[in-house]
Amino acid sequence: MNLQVIVIEGLSAMTTAASLFIIAAGLSLIFGALRVINVAHGTLYMYGAYFMATLFAASGSGWLFWVGLLVAPLFVAAIGAIAEVTLLRRVYERDHLVQLLVTYSLFLILSDLALRFWGTASLSANQPPSLSGAAMVGGVMFPAYDLFVIGCAVAMGLALWALLGRTMLGWKIRAAVEDPETLAASGTNVKRLFTLVFAIGSGLAGFGGAVIAPLQSVDPGMGQSVIVSAFIVAVIGGLGSIAGAAIGATLIGIVEAVGIFYLPSWAPAFIFVAMIVVLAVRPVGLMGQKLGY
């Protein structure tokens, strides 16, 4: 294996890791604050992709990509906020099995609505002209859009770190996890805070779908396929840990790239093996803990 192959495989692994992190970060954020495992997260990701594809289908203009990248997360965040107010806030104190059933029902409802709005045909979204083509990295040519996806993941991770660790909202989120009663007594509307957190997590899923849409076909099954990988990333990193989601996504990206290179037919099993090994050594995940981030 020469240096060029190593660079290409490494960048491919980072592209996979970036796309998984963008999705898994929202999943971990919601669980970390609300203690809800959101099975419908993949469907919200699918809605972000459909929103982006619909923009391109309507006009075909490349500049609309940047509009979609801003509006798609807001669109999906609004859906998440409505779902939280009408359904999820009623099951926060219930058993996790009840929460799973509620979010699975939400997954079925949103999936059926997507079929009614967009049908079963696959859609596509083109890359904007400014990000098409390739760029020189480490002496090799690599797709510019893949580098953009990696950049989006890094930027989003830094934004979440700043939000949770350097702002009053982040302090309130951590306080709500530790002691919601005291936080409520201080004058904070905890229910509204939880709605905001769920909307942010949903918006991250929508952002992931909008970013990934130009890299793959947009179809009704894309949400189901990605949620499994996102859960594996979140479990490996530790449910509720944003930093753990980043580490888990990187690990899965590397493991998947190695599997594809050496044993392509067995590559899908490698990520499950990685999860089993990590959980055997550390059952709460690499950076998991009972409370907090």
255 φ/ψ angles, rounded to the nearest 5 degrees: -60, -40
The answer to whether the CB of 177 falls within 8 A of the CB of 291 is yes
Query: How does pLDDT run along the chain (293 residues), one tens digit per residue?
Result: 577 778 888 888 899 999 999 999 999 898 888 888 889 999 999 999 999 988 887 765 667 888 889 999 999 999 999 999 999 988 887 888 888 899 999 999 999 999 999 988 888 888 888 888 888 887 788 999 999 999 999 999 999 999 988 888 888 888 877 777 888 888 888 889 999 999 999 999 999 999 999 998 898 888 888 888 888 998 899 888 888 999 999 999 988 888 887 888 787 788 888 899 998 988 888 887 654 44
The answer to whether the CB of 259 falls within 8 A of the CB of 14 is no
pLDDT at 256: 86
Q: Going by C-beta distance under 8 Å and a sequence separation of 6 or more, which residues neighbour residue 248?
A: 20, 24, 232, 233, 234, 235, 236, 237, 238, 285, 286
Tell me the C-alpha distance between 262 and 277, whole Å: 20
Closest Cα partner for 26 from 181, 171, 184, 210? 210
Tell me the C-alpha distance between 14 and 292, whole Å: 27
Closest Cα partner for 199 from 92, 110, 81, 84? 81
Tell me the C-alpha distance between 242 and 220, whole Å: 28
Structural domain spans, the chain: 3-281
The answer to whether the CB of 286 falls within 8 A of the CB of 235 is no
Q: Give the SS3 label for residue 187.
A: coil
DSSP state of 90: G
Tell me the C-alpha distance between 199 and 73, whole Å: 9
The answer to whether the CB of 238 falls within 8 A of the CB of 244 is yes
pLDDT at 291: 43
Element (H, E) at 134: strand 134-137
Q: Going by C-beta distance under 8 Å and a sequence separation of 6 or more, which residues neighbour residue 66?
A: 128
